[in-house]
Amino acid sequence: MTDRIFLKGLLVHAHHGLLSHESEVGQRFVIDLDMAVDLSRAAASDHLADTVSYADVAAVSVSTFKARNFNLLEAAAGAIAQAILAAFPLISAVTVTVHKPHAPIAAIFDDVGVVITRRREA
């Protein structure tokens, strides 16, 4: 299947990281989602009930990301992937990218983050 739904650039302020000031003050994170979904039914019907709502995906992602303070981006991205697969049965796989543009790194960089892909168990 090659059908996909994506959501890019979801901005979230959260309190993730290993350093104390990260958990106290927080910072901006950017989440990108790429979901494998069979869209043939929705393409034929033109009904929202036959697809996955972008708004609902965003809400699940943000609430999961902010539900607790994660030390690692890997854990945060994994939690989002699990939550999406649990909430949306039509999604067969999801790739979650979490960007941490203000990571406390002693270097000049454009971006840093993690990418996790999870597939529904057969």
What CATH number corresponds to the domain at position 28? 3.30.1130.10
Q: Is 8 marked active-site? A: no
**What does the pLDDT read at residue 21?**
66
Question: 64 vs 40, 43, 119, CA distance in Å?
Answer: 29, 29, 18
pLDDT-flagged residues of the chain (< 50) = none
Q: In whole angstroms, what separates CA 34 from the centre of its chain?
A: 8
**What does the pLDDT read at residue 1?**
60
Tell me the residue range of the domain where 56 lies.
4-119
**What does the pLDDT read at residue 90?**
96
pTM: 0.92
Q: How many domains does the chain have?
A: 1
The Cα angle at residue 76 between residues 70 and 78, in degrees rounded to 5: 140
User: What's the order of all strands across the beta sheet hosting 27-37?
Assistant: 4-14, 27-37, 91-99, 113-119
Q: Among residues 100, 102, 114, 116, which one is catalytic?
A: 100
